[in-house]
């Protein structure tokens, strides 16, 4: 380059050499000046860049300080260790930012002083936050102490104040440097212009120098363009929206970031008022804020407010507004805007979360403290960490006495061990458990329902145990009282049944005598007056008998002890009995009485005729009683019918006084009548409809009523019946003429009236009878050798009752004579007991004479089995067993195996019975008899099985123990006879099988 320059100089005209030299000197001076100007501009631009960087970094530091505050609060609120990691990252960022500030603040002592102070305050802030999060236990007292001494607030305030001061200083410095940059730029332009003029003058003299000047000027322009480009790039890449507004608020400049924030381009916003970007609700506040800044000439301000983008999206922003001054005159505002929507939302969410947490804590605390249940929480070591007010009140404890204490500190060792076992079970199973606890409290004994359950973390690991104890003292006492009352009620019920049984016997016995004597009296020659009196006695007795029967029936219905028969009978016969029963009353009232049976109703059905008649008698009786004129109709029809069953509907209609509609739901209740006038005017105990309803329901049907006052009533019920397999056309009639003549009867009865009555009834048909006043006397008659065809025996007698007498006759005397139980007791249990001791039939006092005759004929001639099935008697020459069941197998080898196995094992078991009975080993005797009974039952040895059953029952229940040895002795010859017969069966089968092979 130097050689080229020398070459140029040699070629120059000497005349202009001095000008060239001058020009060269001038050019050199000019270049020197331009170089210095360039360095000054670059230094100014660097200063502007550093100032912008410092302002941005100060904003970052302010934001990070706020973030550390939020992280600290997050940790204190949630105890989540993730907040510690976040805080440490923020501390690291904060230190880096402070270092950068220090590096940028090296141009003046004041900047260095500010940076050093900021570093000191930041380190103190970090140390304070580290001390809080690193403390093993952060208690509300510690936090209160830190807040009270003001250290935390003072440091935070100092940092914010220092940052604001530094920011203001930097912003002023930025303004100065921008002004200086503009001044340097103008100076450079002037120098370039002068150089151009100088070059233009010199161009005439020397084109080379002019060309060099032009080149230098172009280069200066290019540098200026590059400088402006850098400045604009700096503004565009600042990361925030920057815009300039005049003193009226109209936007004169905006960088491209405004598009991302607002949706408007910079060109669209030029000339518009800045308020177009503000949310309408905030416009007035923001305008007033900056008007105040303008009036008071506040250099710089920062404000948070809500803006609206072009599409209406709400955006929270932080705006830094620096006033632009020219001397003392305000030119406008230079603003930097940053989007803080996310930060604002976080702050709002944290605020809402904190408020909600406090509300939930308050609600939970209020519930726990005001509930009547005892609530507590323990840690895994059994120490109480929380108890509610009710817990402390019940046990008379305070927080100091229970918190961080265990059950051993205020309970007995035994109870504390019990609670510890429950805690261990909860921790082991991780499930809730319940237990009832009886405890001593300051309020007395208390029954508690305790529920303990584990407290689990997010990993389903137990970190504590909670318990809720509910006071169930009243419920427990009520349950105990209820159990006691139930027991008393059951005892009262048993006493009532016993009372009814005794009253039945005591009332029915004299009634039976009166009834019988009255009947016999009416059959003797009487004058009209005597016959009328006797008839009145009989009618009154019938009414009394009906009331007694109603009371016993309703009692038996409620107790479920009513006995039902299942025999063939004809519906027509029952209706005719009812017609005859009410014929006199119907004729007296001059009523129309119509009994109608549909043609398709079967002539004969299977069921209980007595209970059907009883239900109809009650309904017809009421209809006749409450009807003074008109008619009473009974209609029978079919509701449903199959091949084996039929459901019959019975309707009883009348034209009587009727029943009020509101009473139709109560008339079926016991002792209930429609009105008090009914009871006074018509009498009755109010049991008829209740008994009818109970009987119909027991028979499997349902009953209903329809009525209209003054018009009449209709009662209807439906009962299902079975159809007999074969129905004969001959009516079932008990023929007694001559069949009982000459038969010998033993009447065992302690009441003289009944003795006379039964004797007369039997003599009327030609029977011969002996009378015994109690069971022992009857047994003496048998032991004297007297023979009888049938025994009629009362159950409740002195010396020896009917049960003991029947047992003796069957088991000791070995007699199979038919026995009829004749008693006033109507309970089902008595009938079951009669069956067990071997009685054949059962009749109630007072009894119908024809019914007695029918039963006698049935038992004596075995024409029909009614009542109680008799035990199979032991008769001479009859096998004690039956192999028909085994023979149905059609396998003689199997039959032989069964017989051989029986003969091999059972005889030894039977021979062990006498020794057990003699040693009074009732338990083993019961077990042995039960075992043998199962074996003989297979061979259908019913007599032996029944005797074994009696031995088994007596040995088990401890009854008739003095008779067990005799029963065992009676069993041995019977079994020996059976064993001998089976041995013969065994020999025959063995020979038959050998021959067949």
Burial class (CB in 10 A: 0-12, 13-18, 19+), 620: buried
Most confident range, picked from 89-103, 633-647, 694-708, 751-765: 633-647
pLDDT at 847 over 80: no
**Are 779 and 805 contacting, i.e. CB atoms less than 8 angstroms apart?**
yes
Q: Decide which of 670 and 244 is more confident.
A: 244
Tokens at 434, concatenated: 């319940």
Query: What pLDDT, on the 0 to 100 scale, is given for residue 157?
Result: 81
For the ranges 505-514, 540-549, 752-761, 980-989, the maximum mean pLDDT occurs at 980-989
Model confidence band, residue 957 (pLDDT cutoffs 50, 70, 90): confident
Rounded Cα distance, 155 and 157, in Å: 5
431-435, 518-522, 582-586, 872-876: least confidently modelled range: 872-876
CA 763-769-770 angle, to 5 degrees, is: 140
- Interatomic CA distance for residues 708 and 944, integer angstroms: 64
pLDDT of residue 673 exceeding 60, the answer is no
Residues linked to residue 770 through DSSP beta bridges, in sequence order: 746
Distance from the first to the final alpha carbon of the chain: 148
Percent of the chain with pLDDT over 70: 77
Is a pLDDT exceeding 80 seen at residue 940? no
Given a cut of 70, is residue 295 above it in pLDDT?
yes
- Its pTM stands at 0.31
Judge residue 379's burial from the number of C-beta atoms within 10 Å of its C-beta, 0-12 exposed, 13-18 middle, 19 or more buried.
Answer: middle
Among 33-42, 87-96, 912-921, top mean pLDDT goes to: 912-921
pLDDT higher for 103 or 785? Answer: 785
Q: How many helices (H) and strands (E) does the chain have?
A: 31, 22
- In this prediction, residue 788 carries a pLDDT of 93
Q: How confident is the model at residue 140 (pLDDT cuts 50, 70, 90)?
A: low
Distance CA 565, CA 606 (A): 9
- Of all residues in the chain, what percent carry a pLDDT higher than 90? 9
Q: Are strands 819-823 and 841-844 parallel, antiparallel or unpaired?
A: parallel
Q: What is the mean pLDDT of the chain?
A: 77
Q: Can you give the length of the chain in residues?
A: 997
Is the separation of the CB atoms in 860 and 789 below 8 Å?
yes
pLDDT at 681: 44
What pLDDT is recorded for position 779? 94
User: What is the pLDDT, as a whole number, of residue 220?
Assistant: 59
For 782, counting Cβ atoms within 10 Å of its Cβ (0-12 exposed, 13-18 middle, 19+ buried), the class is buried
How many angstroms separate the CA atoms of 534 and 544, rounded?
Answer: 15
pLDDT, residue 727, reads 37
- pLDDT value of position 646: 92
Q: What is the pLDDT of residue 888?
A: 47
pLDDT recorded at residue 450: 85
**Statement: residue 863 has pLDDT above 70:** no
- Residue at token pair 């123990």: 961
- Of 27-36, 362-371, 506-515, 769-778, the range with the lowest mean pLDDT is 506-515
Position with higher pLDDT, 796 vs 767: 767
* Cα separation, 199 vs 209, whole angstroms: 7
Token readout for 86 is 């976040």
In the predicted model, what is the mean pLDDT of residues 463-475?
82
Q: Confidence band (pLDDT; 50, 70, 90) for 875?
A: very low
Please tell me the predicted confidence (pLDDT) of residue 9: 41
Consecutive H or E run containing 434: strand 433-441
Distance CA 912, CA 889 (A): 32
Residue 800 has pLDDT above 70, yes or no: yes
- At 155-192, the pLDDT tens digits run 878 888 888 888 888 788 778 878 877 787 777 677 76
- The yes-or-no verdict on residue 796 having pLDDT over 90 is no
CA distances from 669 to 48, 297, 717, 749 (A): 109, 102, 16, 38
Exposed/middle/buried for residue 526 (C-beta within 10 Å: 0-12, 13-18, 19+): middle
pLDDT for the residue numbered 867 = 38
Confidence of residue 202 (pLDDT cuts 50, 70, 90): low
Q: What is the per-residue pLDDT for 522? A: 76
Crossing angle of helices 341-370/14-78, nearest 10°? Answer: 10
DSSP 572-626: HHHHHHHHHHHHHHHHHHT-EEEEEE-TTS-SEEEE-HHHHHHHHHHHHHHHHHT
Give residue 752's pLDDT band: very low, low, confident or very high (50, 70, 90): low
Using N-to-C axis directions, what is the helix angle for 828-837 and 802-811, rounded to 10°? 20
Q: Give DSSP secondary structure letters for 646-700.
A: EEEEEEEEE-SS---GGGTTTTTSTT--S-HHHHHHH---S-HHHHHHHHHHHTT
Using the predicted structure, report yes or no on whether residue 286 has a pLDDT greater than 60.
yes
CA distances for 891 relative to 731, 936, 981, 983, 984, angstroms: 46, 20, 20, 18, 18
Residues 6+ apart with CB under 8 A from 89: none
Query: What is the predicted pLDDT for the residue at 23?
Result: 66
Instruction: Check residue 493 and give its pLDDT.
Output: 63
532 has a pLDDT exceeding 80: no
pLDDT tens digits, one per residue of 111-123? 788 888 888 888 8
pLDDT at 203: 58
CB atoms within 10 A of CB 351: 10
Q: Any idea which of 259-273, 542-556, 820-834, 891-905 has the lowest mean pLDDT? A: 542-556
Q: What are residue 466's DSSP bridge partners?
A: 377, 453
Mean pLDDT of all residues in 246-270: 85
- Lowest model confidence (mean pLDDT) among 49-53, 289-293, 477-481, 504-508: 504-508
Q: Are the beta carbons of 54 and 177 closer than 8 angstroms?
A: no
The mean pLDDT value for 439-467 works out to: 83
Banded pLDDT at 136 (limits 50, 70, 90): low
With 60 as the cut, is the pLDDT of residue 12 above it? no
Q: Decide if pLDDT at 214 tops 90.
A: no
Hey, how many other C-beta atoms are within 10 angstroms of the C-beta on 317?
Answer: 21
Q: Around Cβ 761, how many Cβ atoms within 10 Å?
A: 20
């Amino acid at each position: 380059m130097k050689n080229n320059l020398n070459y140029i100089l040699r070629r120059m005209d000497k005349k202009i050499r001095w000008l060239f030299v001058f020009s060269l000197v001038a050019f050199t001076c000019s270049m020197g000046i331009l170089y210095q100007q360039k360095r000054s501009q670059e230094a100014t631009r660097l200063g502007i860049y550093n100032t912008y960087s410092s302002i941005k970094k100060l904003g970052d530091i302010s934001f990070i300080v706020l973030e550390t505050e939020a992280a600290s609060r997050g940790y204190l609120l949630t105890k989540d260790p993730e907040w510690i990691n976040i805080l440490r990252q923020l501390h690291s960022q904060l230190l880096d930012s402070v270092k950068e500030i220090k590096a940028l603040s090296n141009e003046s002592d004041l900047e260095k002083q500010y940076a050093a102070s900021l570093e000191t305050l930041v380190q103190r802030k970090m140390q304070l936050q580290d001390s809080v999060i690193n403390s093993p236990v952060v208690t509300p007292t510690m936090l209160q102490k830190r807040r009270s001494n003001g250290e935390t607030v003072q440091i935070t305030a100092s940092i914010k104040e220092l940052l604001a001061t530094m920011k203001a200083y930097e912003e002023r410095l930025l303004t100065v440097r921008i002004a200086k940059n503009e001044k340097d730029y103008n100076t450079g332009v002037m120098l370039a212009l002068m150089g151009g003029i100088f070059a233009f003058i010199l161009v005439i003299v020397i084109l080379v120098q002019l060309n060099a000047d032009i080149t230098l000027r172009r280069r200066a322009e290019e540098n200026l363009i590059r400088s402006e480009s850098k400045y604009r790039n700096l503004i565009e890449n600042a990361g925030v929206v920057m815009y300039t507004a005049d003193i009226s608020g109209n936007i004169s400049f905006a960088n491209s970031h405004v598009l991302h924030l607002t949706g408007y381009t910079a060109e669209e916003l030029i000339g518009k008022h800045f308020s177009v970007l503000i949310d309408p609700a905030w416009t007035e506040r923001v305008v007033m804020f900056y008007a105040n800044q303008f009036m008071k000439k506040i250099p710089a301000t920062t404000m948070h407010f809500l803006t609206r983008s072009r599409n209406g999206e709400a955006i929270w922003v932080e705006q830094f507004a620096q006033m632009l001054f020219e001397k003392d005159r305000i030119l406008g505002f230079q603003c930097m805007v940053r989007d803080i929507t996310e930060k604002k939302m976080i702050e709002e969410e944290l605020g809402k979360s904190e408020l909600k947490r406090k509300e939930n804590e308050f609600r939970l605390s209020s519930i726990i403290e005001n509930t009547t249940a005892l609530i507590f929480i323990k840690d895994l070591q059994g120490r109480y960490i929380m108890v509610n007010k009710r817990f402390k009140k019940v046990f008379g404890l305070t927080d100091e006495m229970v918190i961080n204490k265990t059950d051993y500190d205020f309970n007995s060792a035994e109870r504390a061990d019990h609670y510890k076992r429950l805690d261990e079970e909860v921790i082991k199973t991780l499930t809730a458990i319940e237990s009832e606890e009886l405890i001593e409290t300051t309020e007395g004994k208390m029954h508690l329902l305790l529920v303990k359950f584990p407290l689990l973390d997010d990993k389903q690991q137990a970190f504590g145990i909670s318990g809720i104890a509910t006071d169930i003292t009243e419920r427990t006492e009520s349950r105990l009282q209820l159990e006691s009352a139930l027991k008393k009620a059951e005892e009262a019920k048993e006493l009532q049944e016993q009372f009814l049984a005794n009253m039945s016997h005591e009332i029915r016995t004299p009634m039976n005598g009166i009834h019988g004597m009255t009947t016999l009296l009416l059959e003797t020659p009487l004058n009209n007056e005597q016959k009328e009196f006797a008839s009145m006695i009989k009618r009154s007795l019938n009414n009394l008998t009906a009331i007694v029967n109603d009371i016993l029936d309703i009692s038996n219905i409620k107790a479920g002890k009513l006995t039902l028969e299942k025999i063939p009978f004809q519906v027509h016969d029952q209706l005719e009995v009812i017609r005859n029963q009410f014929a006199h009353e119907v004729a007296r009232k001059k009523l129309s009485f119509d009994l109608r049976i549909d043609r398709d109703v079967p002539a004969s059905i299977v069921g209980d005729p007595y209970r059907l008649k009883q239900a109809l008698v009650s309904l017809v009786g009421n209809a006749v009683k409450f009807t003074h004129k008109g008619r009473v109709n009974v209609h029978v029809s079919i509701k449903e019918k199959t091949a084996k069953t039929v459901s019959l509907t019975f309707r009883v209609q009348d034209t009587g006084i009727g029943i009020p509609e509101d009473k139709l739901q109560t008339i079926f209740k016991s002792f209930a009548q429609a009105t008090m006038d009914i009871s006074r005017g018509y009498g009755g105990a109010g049991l008829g409809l209740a008994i009818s309803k109970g009987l119909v329901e027991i028979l499997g049907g349902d009953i209903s009523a329809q009525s209209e006052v003054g018009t009449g009533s209709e009662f209807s019920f439906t009962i299902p019946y079975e159809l007999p397999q074969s129905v004969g056309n001959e009516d079932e009639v008990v023929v007694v003429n001559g069949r009982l003549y000459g038969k010998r009867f033993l009447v065992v009865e302690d009441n003289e009236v009944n003795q006379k009555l039964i004797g007369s009834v039997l003599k009327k048909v030609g029977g011969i009878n002996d009378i015994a006043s109690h069971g022992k006397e009857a047994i003496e008659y048998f032991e004297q050798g007297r023979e009888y065809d049938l025994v009629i025996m009362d159950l409740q007698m002195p010396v020896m009752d009917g049960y003991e007498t029947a047992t003796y006759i069957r088991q000791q005397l070995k007699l199979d004579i038919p026995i009829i139980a004749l008693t006033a007791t109507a309970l089902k249990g008595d009938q079951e007991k009669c069956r067990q001791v071997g009685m054949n039939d059962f009749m109630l006092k007072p009894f119908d004479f024809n019914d007695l005759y029918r039963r006698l004929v049935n038992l004596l001639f075995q024409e029909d089995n009614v009542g109680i099935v008799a035990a199979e008697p032991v008769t001479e020459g009859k096998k004690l067993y039956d192999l028909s069941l085994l023979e149905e197998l059609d396998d003689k080898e199997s039959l032989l195996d069964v017989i051989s196995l029986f003969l091999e094992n059972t005889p030894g078991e039977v021979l062990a019975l006498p020794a057990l009975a003699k040693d009074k080993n009732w338990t083993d005797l019961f077990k042995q008899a039960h075992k043998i009974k199962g074996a003989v039952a297979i061979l259908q040895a019913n007599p032996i099985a029944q005797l074994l059953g009696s031995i088994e029952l007596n040995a088990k229940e401890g009854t008739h123990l003095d008779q067990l040895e005799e029963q065992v002795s009676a069993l041995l010859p019977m079994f020996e006879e059976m064993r001998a017969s089976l041995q013969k069966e065994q020999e025959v089968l063995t020979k038959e099988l050998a021959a067949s092979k």
